[in-house]
Structure 1
Amino acid sequence: MADQIVITEKSSQAKDVRAAIGSRYGIVLPAEGHLIDLLEPEEVVPEWKRWSPILLKPDGLYGTRPAMGGNKAAKLKAIHEALRTATCVWLATDCDREGQLIGQEILEHYDYRGKVMRVLFTAQDSQTIRTAFSEARPNAEYARLYAAAVARRQADQIYNLSLTRTATVVLGRGGRGVIGVGRVKTPTLAIVCRRELEIRNFVPVTYFEVVATAKIASGEFKMRHAPQERILRRDVAEAVAAAAQGFEGPLGVRVEDKRQSPPRLHDLPSLQKLCSARFSWSAARTLEVAQELYDGQGKKIITYPRAEVRYLPESLIADVPRIVAGLQVGQSFRNIPVPTPPVIRRGASGTFHDKGLEGASHHAVIPNVNTVDTLREVWPRLSLDEKKLFDVIARAYLAALMPDFRYRQTTATLDVQGYAFKATGRQPIELGWRAAFPDWQPADEKGDGAALLPTLRDGEPARLHDPIVEAKETKPPPRYNEGTLIEAMQNAWRFVDDEVLRDRLKEAKGIGTPATRAEIIGGLKKQEFL
């Protein structure tokens, strides 16, 4: 038997690891997700077999036993046999908290006491894997990550089962069968219920705005009276319109040169939100496509997709020229004018920010530097959805390396007998990163604010004509789609009044994780709660 073994999270990962390192670090054995389960309550305390409204919390932690189903028993047996003679184990499971648990819980269950090294990779090509093994660290350095995973799992076992039994016994009374309660699932359902109640209880309010055409020496443009305190009576709006008809007065004109930084790089929640809005994908579909781009056979063209950080470490600045060059070989990205040298933004408002990665085990999702040179060969193998998602990720990366969008914002005001009329417009000076998104039109640049105004001078006379009263109506908040629901889960602190809990939820980045949120929503739909 080998004196070293490598444990991966799944068979496809084991295949990639074998291709990268052969048997240099011993035999490579895959898990199949969790190979170890927690004991059921009645296996710990026999009296807990009868359902009653009590807290199912044992003295100490719930013990563990081998998991059942699929090939789990066979895979666990192979690892257990290898552990008998192994003096060193290389844990090469996913780089997140759950990956740490999947690997280490096997060693803890069998009380393994040999040397353990932790291998962390955020891309799954051969070069990245070889580098990760050469830079492996003692697993003891990740004790806190493992403790966090154990705590999460124990909390789920205690509270999900205790509350499910309590809700079923006290509230169910045989009406619906089991009433499932989950530490993440139930608050997610509550967020949707809360929004539904807001919509059902919403009472629309009609209000009025006045729009008039302003004529100046160089042309005409629309001006609007839309006070912050809305006009709720039509007769008041009609009086404003009457005052505006034929009014002439001096314009107040303010011209400001402004700039806008590129959008942040993507993490999984931002990808799920964007793909839900743009492609009508479910959260699970976005993760599925991203996972295929990450570890699909003959692909591996993006970094680890289950990210919840939108920064990159400063060490990746060195990869910028190679990624840009690799992307610009392709027809889709060839004409995006990334400057030479690219714009490198550091710090909290930038792209490369080491401090912003503290406590995170992986960075924003970007093209894989080690496979970007193969894009031309890989592209024909990608499905249409895979091409769409890679396009989103690649454009965000290129945009982050381009100059700010610069524009001139003009605000014109006219005092009509005490009623303020206003027009705002912007004229691009330098497209900058906008050139990476030819179809870009953010929500805040639609409507009157995006109007092109004629050349205006401060103090020049303007004459209003053809005023119109527009009737508008307040609208309820929209229902969630899967993308916006994931964003709400991420920002769950907004629904909590207790300041300590709000701060804790902010620190924890909400409820659920990038890896589990799509599954939680899918589970609620499957159970017909949503």
Structure 2
Amino acid sequence: MKQLILAEKPSVARDLSQILGATEKHKDYFEGDGVIVTWALGHLLGLKMPEDLNKDWQKWQLETLPMLPKFIGTKPLPKTRHQLQAIERLAKRSDVKEAVIATDAGREGELVARWILQYVRFNKPVKRLWISSQTTKAVKEGFARLKPASDYDDLYQSALARATADWLVGLNVTRALTVKYQDNLSAGRVQTPTLALVLKQEDKISSFIPQKYYQIALNASNQKALMEQKNPYGIKNREAAQKIVSELERTIGKVEKITVKEHSEKAPLPYDLTELQRAANEKYGYSAKKTLSVVQSLYEVHKIVSYPRTDSKYLSTDMISTMKERLQAVGSMVPEALEYAKKGAKVVQKKVFNNEKVTDHHALVPTEQRPDYAKLSSDEHRIYGMIVKRFVMLFAPEYREQKEKITVSFANRRFNFSKTTVLQKGWKENAQTSGEALHFKEGQQIKGTFEVKEKLTTPPNPLTEGGLLALMERYSLGTPATRAEIIEKLVSSELMERSGNFLRVTRKGRQLLELVNPSLVTPELTEKWEKQLEAIALGKFSSQKFIAEIKDDTKKLVSEVKNSTKKYQDFSMTQKKCPECGAFLKEKKVRDGKLLVCSNAECDYKRRAEARVSNHRCPQCHKKMLIVSGEKGEYFRCKYDGTTEKLGGKKGKKKMSRHEERRLLKKINQDDEPQESALAAALKKAMEEK
């Protein structure tokens, strides 16, 4: 009899099959003694769409909203139906005695597997593999302690409730907005308050008015100290500042107090996914999606980090015995790790071990497997380095410093000189002593000079992706596994856009936030929902009660849109008309530029809004030609001399040989080149004169 093991991806299934000895390879599965390893392709099923449940919901119209089905159910996704059928055949084999869920150990992974097993009507025992790394050791240990799948029923109920809530709120509000305002307006229980956080920061910047303020500095013994103020921006004009200086200049200062304190600081805890994404965005400018993709590869392909989609920064106590192996694995990247291993791998930051604060998974740390650096991309090397260095800090001595503060008083005004001396760098490799040596004694009289410094308040910075992730975490918007996807959805739906490393809300996004109910814009309602989902996963809240509340909220949100008298302007609409039906064309962003698409829902006309540069060379000037859209389709056009050519002909498809390339370059650079620039001519003349 055999176990049917269901992995989430083919790559994971392949790795599991090698570890479990399933060496017999088939198109849709691997087989060995006692095991059959197959895979999903992410989700193979999704919730049914409105048109699958009720014929009246096929057409988008306000009259049929809100759509509140008693039961939604699932249906196969068309592109992956073949794999679902393969799993169904395997599940019905007479020699299969039980199934093992080996999908990602998290809420979404649980949903992937449960839906599949329900669809194929699997009625045999089901067990759960729950591991935090993909190493051979972790997999073998995980299979040695499989648990009944029923132990994770609450997690499944939480996942199902989340998917149902997104269906109810997202589809109903999006349909209501789209039909009411005749434009594709996407809203959701998490993405809409996330968008509002970006706009809130933009509003702070736009409403900011710079103001002058003044500081007073004391110069004594070649050192400077600023005057203490309850409100650092309190002195608003130079006259007031100068009046204070005049008073100070008539007095003699006195060293009122000298304090010397030592301060120690232990290393930070390891990364969870959200903090890693924030740090990678700040350090390398990576998007949340890119960081997740890279760390997922380090986990699945290279097996050198633990499960990435974690929201915990703590480790379980049973991991203490693995610390030495993990240090030895990363020694070639961080040499001091080997020293810590030799000394017994003693963790200095002991609070990292806390079973109560380890949720579904522990913190993101390196595994015991030694990396093959030659196989890592530069991005993988960077992210792995960040995870490793943060982990090794746990074993480093604490950072210690001495802070010296000297308070000098002039009448009722105080000035503070300070110096920070690093006593032990510990885990802070780059820590340095700051401030000059202070030579004062208590009671000493001080004479000095004063100066007035004019300052200007500065506006807050726009939100970076890292900053947005921090706010999403603070307000419990989404989970570590979904936050990157939410940000990408806002960008792809043209509600938000990237401007360098910053995020900004588009005009379309601003209007959307004005059109929906304020309760969906502010994060409080979504934060309440997310906390309830967490409580469902812990068995502390009813999923039925949660869905009942979601339905009530959906009714209110849809009613608000229906009864709204607010106006909407589609800024993507152009004055160009469709050549097929006469409707106005809308501008739509795509990956490689912009398209003009017909605003008539029943017309599928589209063309490029702007020409794009091709690698095809002009036969006259040999420069790259543009691909231009016209009435008869796309064609090549040279923007320098107007030459045109058909697109897709032999010339366009033929690859240039090295000989032709050299000949072309020689022709471009020949002496009688008519298009030669003035700069090129001057350089050539200078070379000839040498």
TM-score (norm 2): 0.66
* 1:197–1:331 CA distance, 2 compared to 1 (3 A): closer
Q: Does residue 75 of structure 2 align to residue 65 of structure 1?
A: yes
Code of the residue aligned with 1:160 in structure 2: it is G
Code of the residue aligned with 1:15 in structure 2: it is R
CA contact (8 A) 1:210 1:237 kept: yes
**What is the Cα deviation at residue 42 of structure 1?**
2.2
Find the aligned partners of 2:11 and 2:425 in 1 and give their Cα distance.
43
SS at match of 1:433: coil
CA contact (8 A) 1:206 1:474 kept: yes
**What is the Cα deviation at residue 102 of structure 1?**
0.6
2:89 is matched with which residue? 81
Code of the residue aligned with 1:4 in structure 2: it is Q
Find the aligned partners of 2:340 and 2:216 in 1 and give their Cα distance.
44
2:167 is matched with which residue? 157
SS at match of 2:304: coil
Q: Does residue 446 of structure 2 align to residue 462 of structure 1?
A: yes
Code of the residue aligned with 1:471 in structure 2: it is E
1:283 is matched with which residue? 288
CA contact (8 A) 1:7 1:28 kept: yes
* 1:211–1:474 CA distance, 2 compared to 1 (3 A): same
RMSD of aligned alpha carbons:
2.1
CA contact (8 A) 1:213 1:464 kept: yes
Find the aligned partners of 2:118 and 2:349 in 1 and give their Cα distance.
41
Q: Does residue 138 of structure 2 align to residue 133 of structure 1?
A: no
SS at match of 2:278: helix
Q: How many residues align?
A: 478
1:326 is matched with which residue? 329
Find the aligned partners of 1:346 and 1:257 in 2 and give their Cα distance.
19
SS at match of 2:428: helix
SS at match of 2:218: strand
* 1:426–1:343 CA distance, 2 compared to 1 (3 A): farther
Matches within 5 A, 1:299-338: 299-328=302-331, 330=332, 332-334=334-336, 338=340
Find the aligned partners of 1:337 and 1:241 in 2 and give their Cα distance.
57
Q: Does residue 258 of structure 2 align to residue 256 of structure 1?
A: no
Larger radius of gyration: 2
Find the aligned partners of 2:288 and 2:465 in 1 and give their Cα distance.
6
1:512 is matched with which residue? 478
Code of the residue aligned with 1:354 in structure 2: it is N
Pairing partner for 2:130 from 110, 120, 125:
120
2:11 is matched with which residue? 12
1:210 is matched with which residue? 216
* 1:429–1:455 CA distance, 2 compared to 1 (3 A): farther
**What is the Cα deviation at residue 153 of structure 1?**
0.6
Find the aligned partners of 2:213 and 2:364 in 1 and give their Cα distance.
44
2:660 is matched with which residue? none
Runs of 5+ consecutive residues of structure 1 not aligned to the other structure: 493-509
**What is the Cα deviation at residue 423 of structure 1?**
2.3
Find the aligned partners of 1:474 and 1:24 in 2 and give their Cα distance.
72
SS at match of 2:208: coil
2:279 is matched with which residue? 274
2:488 is matched with which residue? 522
Code of the residue aligned with 2:224 in structure 1: it is K
CA contact (8 A) 2:255 2:406 kept: no
**What is the Cα deviation at residue 30 of structure 1?**
0.8
Find the aligned partners of 1:462 and 1:426 in 2 and give their Cα distance.
22
Pairing partner for 1:44 from 43, 53, 57:
53
CA contact (8 A) 1:251 1:462 kept: no
Find the aligned partners of 2:237 and 2:33 in 1 and give their Cα distance.
80
Runs of 5+ consecutive residues of structure 2 not aligned to the other structure: 22-31, 497-690
SS at match of 1:454: coil
Find the aligned partners of 2:4 and 2:117 in 1 and give their Cα distance.
12
SS at match of 1:165: helix
CA displacement 1:74-123 (0-9 Å, x = unmatched): 11111011111232001100011101111111112232210101001211
1:351 is matched with which residue? 352
Find the aligned partners of 1:257 and 1:38 in 2 and give their Cα distance.
59
Give the percent of matched residue pairs that are identical in Structure 1 and Structure 2.
Answer: 28
Deviating more after overlay: 177-186 vs 11-20: 177-186
Code of the residue aligned with 2:104 in structure 1: it is D
CA contact (8 A) 2:186 2:493 kept: no
**What is the Cα deviation at residue 169 of structure 1?**
2.6
2:542 is matched with which residue? none
**What is the Cα deviation at residue 4 of structure 1?**
2.5
**What is the Cα deviation at residue 464 of structure 1?**
1.9
SS at match of 2:480: coil
1:501 is matched with which residue? none
CA contact (8 A) 2:278 2:465 kept: yes
CA contact (8 A) 2:308 2:364 kept: yes
Pairing partner for 2:403 from 396, 406, 409:
409
CA displacement 1:58-82 (0-9 Å, x = unmatched): 11x311111122xx11111110111
Find the aligned partners of 1:232 and 1:189 in 2 and give their Cα distance.
36
Matches within 5 A, 1:290-301: 290-296=295-301, 299-301=302-304
**What is the Cα deviation at residue 402 of structure 1?**
2.1
Find the aligned partners of 1:402 and 1:457 in 2 and give their Cα distance.
37
Find the aligned partners of 2:346 and 2:212 in 1 and give their Cα distance.
48
CA contact (8 A) 2:253 2:409 kept: no
Q: Does residue 35 of structure 2 align to residue 29 of structure 1?
A: no
SS at match of 1:523: helix
* 1:433–1:182 CA distance, 2 compared to 1 (3 A): same
Find the aligned partners of 2:35 and 2:333 in 1 and give their Cα distance.
43
Find the aligned partners of 1:453 and 1:223 in 2 and give their Cα distance.
13
Q: Does residue 193 of structure 2 align to residue 184 of structure 1?
A: no
Find the aligned partners of 2:444 and 2:318 in 1 and give their Cα distance.
55
1:239 is matched with which residue? 243
**What is the Cα deviation at residue 52 of structure 1?**
3.5
Deviating more after overlay: 132-141 vs 409-418: 409-418
**What is the Cα deviation at residue 393 of structure 1?**
0.8
CA contact (8 A) 2:402 2:423 kept: yes
SS at match of 1:468: strand
SS at match of 1:182: coil
**What is the Cα deviation at residue 307 of structure 1?**
1.2
Find the aligned partners of 1:422 and 1:244 in 2 and give their Cα distance.
15
Pairing partner for 1:489 from 466, 472, 479:
472
Find the aligned partners of 1:333 and 1:472 in 2 and give their Cα distance.
46
**What is the Cα deviation at residue 51 of structure 1?**
2.4
Higher relative contact order (CA 8 A, sep 6+): 1
Code of the residue aligned with 1:294 in structure 2: it is Y
Deviating more after overlay: 235-244 vs 273-282: 235-244
* 1:135–1:346 CA distance, 2 compared to 1 (3 A): farther
Find the aligned partners of 1:108 and 1:261 in 2 and give their Cα distance.
49
* 1:17–1:473 CA distance, 2 compared to 1 (3 A): same
2:206 is matched with which residue? 200
Find the aligned partners of 1:335 and 1:106 in 2 and give their Cα distance.
44
2:646 is matched with which residue? none
SS at match of 1:160: helix
1:386 is matched with which residue? 380
TM-score (norm 1): 0.86
Q: Does residue 479 of structure 2 align to residue 479 of structure 1?
A: no
* 1:453–1:243 CA distance, 2 compared to 1 (3 A): farther
Find the aligned partners of 1:390 and 1:452 in 2 and give their Cα distance.
38
Find the aligned partners of 2:252 and 2:39 in 1 and give their Cα distance.
79
**What is the Cα deviation at residue 140 of structure 1?**
0.5
Find the aligned partners of 2:226 and 2:447 in 1 and give their Cα distance.
14
CA contact (8 A) 1:301 1:367 kept: yes
Find the aligned partners of 2:445 and 2:425 in 1 and give their Cα distance.
32
Pairing partner for 1:426 from 420, 425, 429:
420
Code of the residue aligned with 1:145 in structure 2: it is L
* 1:416–1:343 CA distance, 2 compared to 1 (3 A): farther
Find the aligned partners of 1:318 and 1:462 in 2 and give their Cα distance.
59
**What is the Cα deviation at residue 461 of structure 1?**
3.4
